[in-house]
Structure 1
């Protein structure tokens, strides 16, 4: 198999090694063509991920070699081992959080935070009821709500494992 050659690191670009990249429903929807945002082709899959900065261009001041970074937006293409991109496409994340925390910090925690802050004023002692509480967002809602002094009532959805195993066994 031929290895793709990365472009040179330009004055405003960064080379990174992808450390982890999950597969989530939005990734599958993009591949199916049913996600509202579709990348230009050819494309690399993966919306979430965390990378380790290997090299920075001489005009890059926001990042340094050794920083952990996440993509700013969907469609970055995290399902690869390395990338060279404009430094503006990346945000640094603390290296003292877990790899799992870093790889998912850009989507589910942000969604959960917005759900708890944007729709209804909540104060300690309030209770939030949520459906789909066993999802990634639902689990983060529970954690943020606890930190805010909120109670939660959580409805979980039954995972249909048999249907999924039948779908992939053919």
Structure 2
């Protein structure tokens, strides 16, 4: 296994795999209410079996080159994750996503981790377009998209039903040439 440092604050990015289901479930239990504010994941990872199934789904996506999941550990505690929710090498498109426990918010962990994912997607895998989809109400998420230099492509009005309420989705994206040009200034 490998771990990639996210900076000098003890944060690391590591693959998150089915054998870590117990740790993943403990993370979900700690962050269930906060994480569930905008995404349904906590509603699906409710016990060891469902947590393992979720991680196995991403292991299967990794094997099919269709998605990936990486945990964010802070001082050896799993506090969040970043994902390639979709990964389409033939089309050159992918979608990144994330979540974080409330106790780990405000440290730049997501921005740093997603930057690593986009660098890899663009530089190593030759992705042309990287998307970010977020609830229009999730300002923390859309602020990350802005910090990453993404452009808001549009809003899908009332595009998904979550806990009985219809929500708008914002679609943000960065193209490979834009990403490379912005990186020169970093």
Larger strand proportion of the pair: 2
TM-score using structure 2 length: 0.29
TM-score using structure 1 length: 0.30
Larger Rg: 1
